[in-house]
Structure 1
């Protein structure tokens, strides 16, 4: 009888997904449904959800005595029910466009109210609720499910009840009988027969809830009814029960809730937490929920709880407290603190900058400013002897990750990091899928693009006036530099714990600015969601055929040798074609070629522009040198180097994408850079043929056609260009016809080429000098072309002048999606610097908008492919192009889905006045698909 002496729990389980949709549609019926923040982000459903959650918490305090509480959400993607019945929920319409960006925000709202926020991949919220409810019931605890969902009524028992907060109505056994005609234990049988059109549960045709209840009451249960269906007197009903018996059994599997979901958090971990205004107010302020803020201040006062007990730092002025963790109990204390706070800064320490090859050496964490810890895991590895007795005290990495994994993956705890893409990729290789997370680097990029770098050291100095410990301070430099696992733990701990501490303080300084400066939408729709997409792409990588590269390398070597022989003959002597000094001596001193120019140091320049000018003047040797250089670069940069980048375990190349390194929002590819493979030369295109697929698959390349020109036409409101794009006219031929008066039919290709060079050059602020070089014409002729262009298309000149004027007044320009780029030198007195800044100001809104469009497409793509039942994987992004790998039999459908997503990417934020066009094709290699 001793077990009865324990204190029973009262567990409240909130159906968060149901709450959200009820909030959305309730708000939609009022003007509040249109609520948007000052930056345009829709937040009506978040406001409704927050109001409902606040009311629930207040009512529970006043009228109930809950001891434990959690909000449960559906996880995006398919569940185990789709394996049972492929069309489960197949007829449900897509979520409203303005609701989609609010999904992550309601999770943030839940955490801000200091309530556990739980979801599990592969299961619906109802299954998680069922598992918790039955587990608590078995322990003798009381459960209240906050929902009116009929699917949850099967759980009602003496210990489990439901509560509809909208109607303020309790749902117990009698209410279930009133709804279904029978008690809760019969609900699944009734639903299996009646089906459910909203979830596309088929049921048995012709049988509704009332008839199903009568049949189950008469025969006892579904199986007995199906076994004895031949006894039914009504002909049609009997025939349907016999014909659709298996469909009824499948339907029961669909409606029956799973009660053994693998739960990361047990019931004990859901203990009620008091509202923490330091946690809640920043979120409500960011969402601009002013009335709710005032209500909560009245209810709770504004005495905000202490950030963390024991901290001696307030803003960075005093000595921080950093701890090194060697005991499991100490690690658990930090994990518990993360759950208590709902937010934790996390950083990984590794032995390599290459996330796909890095070994995890340690993890640092911070839950409050001035407090941090370092968990060393693999210092002194690979047989290296460290003069550090603490090295042997490290918690084994497998055990440490076993303890950390639930917290790092738990949606109830927001993880904060600096360049979290790297940490997420490293941890994913240890089977830890970290999330959800905020990224201080991306927050900074959303706020201050063009104002400087976004690395942690620079941000700490800029925003906190704090000088961080530099990696070189503890690791050294040059050939003697140590990897992190070779650094003494005491030194490593200071550096690592500071990283987490500073990251948390940067988060607290920067995150509120998103709302204040109207950049929440940019961050939430263009930056934060993309990081997880890039992690998946980088981990997937792309297969490269070494034999193709070897053949190309041999071909380039032979042709380089031929170019060398020709160059020696033209020069009359042998020299190094890779030596600028020797080239200049041959060209300008021995041969005396005219048209050269000297560098600032007085040496003859041999850069590509000079050699192109000399070659255009009719000199053969500069052309041969240029050909040799082109082959040499392709060979050294790609055909010889790429095999070294193939991962020894995966057999694929895994490029790394920088998300915050450009001023326009474009991604950049590194280690290796796959975005700079030349596409305009035949030899450059050959390199793409080495990028191949696994057996049975194909590659699909999808490319936007002239997206920047289309965006220019929209932004500058160029009526003739917009009409041409709408009519599907060749835009370059149209431009040539407008400028030079030549008919489109039978146009000289050289005339079209000139128009194309001007069309694309204008976007980048091309000069007469640059256009002259590109087309091989005189500068005066190039200037005439540009003048004629602006005369024919005055809207472009107007756009350029207006954009420059705006940048001079405000110091920045913006894309149509709200991405801001600061242009520092726009008011410089130096003409060269000012001219560069003006070209940047002209280009950024166009190229930035193109980057925003493809980012939006990438963010939607994985779910769209999954929803279409496709197994395609997105591998690469190269400027305006996306590359996928898929089974050969999926290729056609993949092309269709990918094109649809890419074309529709601007909406609903922007409706373009010109159509976007996407060319998507499959191929046996990248070159063939492009």
Structure 2
């Protein structure tokens, strides 16, 4: 094919900054993938941006014919427009703190996709786009701008168009006329008159887009209009046009895009390039975007199972995977387990919910390079599975009868990957698997912060092997199958590989525990907690649907009343769930002061903004806050929790992720019961729905200010340690020390500020964050933080020492030896480095608190049994444990639970501050808390 001439150039220019902010806010709304699992680095915007760019590239190949492509970004510093008008974009807030470290990463992502990434000092992305567009247009080529930004609509012509990928909508001349009332050639003049609040372009007061279009249509252009302004009949409009004529001219200089930017790359250097997997995959792996990795591979044809070379070879070169269809064959595998004394075990089920999952098959491995799959439930009743092997399966009850003695044999070590899930599933079939090792927990003890701990990631990291993914055999989306619907031949390859890879990982990770001094962490904090969690998850918690129904009805009525009141205060009906409509009412119609702009230039309607307005005496913001609070409680809890009740047990069963945080904290999912609100009266009402069985009570035991106590111990803060020893109110003491006020009769607001600082400091809070939290200026917040460090120099010393150690070693450790690697601690980017430094400060503190409660949970079952108590542990909510026990055992249960929790650090660690546990019994969770 002959090379295309310049006149055939079709250049696509992506507004990278616009893409980034769209990605950030979209991911923030979905709460998907907001941080990197290994180290907590914010990557949500990078993931969203990468997904969008990948989709764009795919769509281009399928539906368009681009010859050239580039992504254009805004330069981070000031531009020539700030010299013209110093207040240009002056009312924009700082970028969200978690977005700042992602700015360099999206540029890195762009280059990883083999796409030119362009920014020019002193200019905005729009100017670069305008320069390329006009150059290509002049040479007879075409340009497509991937953006919906109205500021770029002035560039639209016969050869230049825009495309909104979110709406899959082309923007040409007609769409510009629909937006501005006139064609692209008049957009600059219209914007010069109307101004732009998001960029702080002043324009002419009282002139909006519609009026500006009418005036330009009548007078032809801005200069003609201004020279003939005295002809305007409307008095106020005429006066404003005369008075603010120079302001309109300045506005024109701000909105008119430059087309003379010195370009880093010539157009010919922007030719379309194919995706280079050697370039892209390392970046996606670094970001831990596993789903996107799979998608990219599928799109380039790498995920074809038939093209796989099979599992990595065993040390002696033998590879043996077997599908077990007979009892003698199964017994032969059991014999191998007895012979070797160790066996890897994995279950296949039809659900990720262990309390509702049906067993579909079991896979085993006793050495690297071998494995078997025992299908037990493929082609279940009512499922049309075209597989001749389904009739060969060993009956479930017979297979389990053969497997049970081996799985419970104390002389045979069972190895699993996230064995908690398998143990819970098997426990429902009457099998209590023990003893065991868990490769996921080994990895967590060894490499927390280095990456994820799922089997696919571990196989890639330690074996350099790409496993068969579940989606490869089950499919994705609406066409996805449950495992019992998959043909046994395909299922067997996937399942046997799981057992084989798990065995190989165990052979690598097990020796490292002793070699790297992490055996104690694994043996005392990780492995023994798994069976405790299994028992908790299986027990579940009882909820009262009638209480939730009453609360839901009450919330709905109060929401309706709040909506009516809001409409009355606003003087019109509007959607209380629409941030745009709320901002239009508050800051447009009502003109309330003190509004904040988001990074996209819209008025913020976040809770802190509404709270500040309400504090200033405005009624509508408080009504909106009330409505929002009720709406969240209703949708998240009162309406949804009844659907989480297991029909077999009549109770709600959460699942605890044991290796998903970088601090050792457990995470509750499906449903998340760790975020039940307690700070508001309505939030606490939700907890009244958590109840006990007849004849029992609930017991709540909660550590009091455990993280502050650990800070005092770790940083050796003598005044704080003494305060805790004397039982003094630590927040009041802090306020007294900082603000020189007496503890007696202290203003609650001052104590609140001290409390925010106490907790904020240990999370590495910035002046910006503290200012937002307390509703004060950033300078005032900085003064508070400086005063805090002056009064408590030990905190500053702890932070400095911790950061220095992390920079030198690459990790931090808790007082119990839990290690967290901090990847970005020496990064050249200040924002990313600052984020990692805050993580380094917090991890030893929050991690120590997590370790303490883990130790308490591990000891609790034996302590309760020794005391002849029948209490059962149901939930763990950060620093709190919830039990159910017979009513007549409540007092003794509270005493035993408190004793175990208070003594949890010993004998490994002797704290220099006392731990305090508040334990109470009640008829529901709220009453007990």
Q: Which TM-score tier does this pair reach, normalised by the shorter chain?
A: 0.5 to 0.7
Question: Do the aligned partners of residues 316 and 673 (structure 1) sit closer, same or farther apart at CA in structure 2, a change above 3 Å counting?
Answer: farther
Counterpart CA distance in 2 for 1:785 and 1:352 is 51
Question: Do the aligned partners of residues 312 and 474 (structure 1) sit closer, same or farther apart at CA in structure 2, a change above 3 Å counting?
Answer: closer
**What SS does structure 2 have at the residue aligned with 1:909?**
coil
Deviates more, 1:629-638 or 1:612-621: 612-621
Counterpart CA distance in 1 for 2:468 and 2:809 is 35
Equivalence for 2:742: 743
CA contact (8 A) 2:806 2:825 kept: yes
Deviates more, 1:596-605 or 1:311-320: 311-320
Matched, 1:792 2:799: no
Q: How does 1:559-570 map to 2 (within 5 A)?
A: 559-570=558-569
Deviations 1:360-380 (A, max 9, x none): 000001111110100000101
Deviations 1:540-586 (A, max 9, x none): 11110111111111111111112211222233322222223333333
Counterpart CA distance in 1 for 2:570 and 2:479 is 45
Counterpart CA distance in 2 for 1:594 and 1:736 is 31
Counterpart CA distance in 1 for 2:745 and 2:778 is 28
TM superposition shift of 1:316? 7.9
CA contact (8 A) 1:678 1:684 kept: yes
TM superposition shift of 1:749? 2.0
Counterpart CA distance in 2 for 1:315 and 1:389 is 31
Matched, 1:427 2:426: yes
TM superposition shift of 1:783? 1.9
TM superposition shift of 1:833? 1.7
Equivalence for 1:443: 442
CA RMSD, aligned part only?
Answer: 1.7
Deviations 1:624-650 (A, max 9, x none): 222222111111111101000111111
TM superposition shift of 1:598? 4.4
Equivalence for 2:543: 544
Counterpart CA distance in 2 for 1:584 and 1:476 is 43
CA contact (8 A) 2:445 2:518 kept: yes
Counterpart CA distance in 1 for 2:475 and 2:562 is 44
**What SS does structure 2 have at the residue aligned with 1:653?**
coil
Question: Do the aligned partners of residues 498 and 906 (structure 1) sit closer, same or farther apart at CA in structure 2, a change above 3 Å counting?
Answer: same
Equivalence for 2:847: 848
Matched, 1:906 2:905: yes
Equivalence for 1:287: none
Equivalence for 2:490: 491
TM superposition shift of 1:604? 4.0
Deviations 1:345-366 (A, max 9, x none): 0000000000000000000011
TM superposition shift of 1:768? 2.1
**What SS does structure 1 have at the residue aligned with 2:366?**
strand
**What SS does structure 1 have at the residue aligned with 2:731?**
helix
Equivalence for 2:649: 650
Matched, 1:622 2:621: yes
Counterpart CA distance in 2 for 1:462 and 1:616 is 53
**What SS does structure 1 have at the residue aligned with 2:914?**
coil
Matched, 1:690 2:689: yes
CA contact (8 A) 1:313 1:369 kept: no
Counterpart CA distance in 1 for 2:544 and 2:312 is 55
Deviations 1:656-707 (A, max 9, x none): 0000001100001001101011111111111111100000001110000110
Matched, 1:710 2:716: no
Equivalence for 2:924: 925
Deviations 1:819-855 (A, max 9, x none): 0111111122222222221111111101100000000
CA contact (8 A) 1:736 1:752 kept: yes
Query: How many aligned positions are there?
Result: 620
Equivalence for 1:409: 408
TM superposition shift of 1:810? 1.2
Equivalence for 2:119: none
**What SS does structure 2 have at the residue aligned with 1:652?**
coil
Equivalence for 1:501: 500
**What SS does structure 1 have at the residue aligned with 2:527?**
helix
Q: TM-score, normalised by structure 1?
A: 0.65
Counterpart CA distance in 2 for 1:494 and 1:649 is 33
**What SS does structure 2 have at the residue aligned with 1:789?**
helix
CA contact (8 A) 2:313 2:319 kept: no
CA contact (8 A) 1:758 1:771 kept: yes
TM superposition shift of 1:617? 4.8
**What SS does structure 2 have at the residue aligned with 1:920?**
strand
Question: Do the aligned partners of residues 478 and 696 (structure 1) sit closer, same or farther apart at CA in structure 2, a change above 3 Å counting?
Answer: same
Equivalence for 2:811: 812
TM superposition shift of 1:602? 4.6
Q: How does 1:841-920 map to 2 (within 5 A)?
A: 841-920=840-919
TM superposition shift of 1:592? 4.2
**What SS does structure 1 have at the residue aligned with 2:528?**
helix
Counterpart CA distance in 2 for 1:474 and 1:587 is 53
Q: How does 1:200-215 map to 2 (within 5 A)?
A: none
CA contact (8 A) 1:364 1:496 kept: yes
Deviations 1:154-199 (A, max 9, x none): xxxxxxxxxxxxxxxxxxxxxxxxxxxxxxxxxxxxxxxxxxxxxx
Deviations 1:752-781 (A, max 9, x none): 222111111111112222222322333222
Counterpart CA distance in 2 for 1:489 and 1:312 is 18
Counterpart CA distance in 1 for 2:769 and 2:569 is 29
CA contact (8 A) 2:608 2:775 kept: no
Q: How does 1:669-680 map to 2 (within 5 A)?
A: 669-680=668-679
Equivalence for 1:474: 473
Equivalence for 2:322: 323
CA contact (8 A) 2:415 2:436 kept: yes
**What SS does structure 1 have at the residue aligned with 2:457?**
helix
Equivalence for 1:754: 753
CA contact (8 A) 1:689 1:927 kept: yes
CA contact (8 A) 1:769 1:782 kept: yes
Deviations 1:266-314 (A, max 9, x none): xxxxxxxxxxxxxxxxxxxxxxxxxxxxxxxxxxxxxxxxxxxxx9964
CA contact (8 A) 2:311 2:497 kept: no
Counterpart CA distance in 1 for 2:747 and 2:585 is 39
TM superposition shift of 1:883? 0.5
Counterpart CA distance in 2 for 1:316 and 1:362 is 27
Question: Do the aligned partners of residues 625 and 312 (structure 1) sit closer, same or farther apart at CA in structure 2, a change above 3 Å counting?
Answer: closer
CA contact (8 A) 1:583 1:606 kept: yes
Gaps of 5+ in 1: 1-310
Counterpart CA distance in 1 for 2:324 and 2:765 is 58
Counterpart CA distance in 2 for 1:603 and 1:462 is 43
CA contact (8 A) 2:721 2:913 kept: yes
CA contact (8 A) 2:320 2:371 kept: yes
Counterpart CA distance in 1 for 2:725 and 2:353 is 45
Counterpart CA distance in 2 for 1:528 and 1:754 is 41
Equivalence for 1:113: none
Counterpart CA distance in 2 for 1:349 and 1:708 is 40
TM superposition shift of 1:622? 3.1
TM superposition shift of 1:618? 4.5
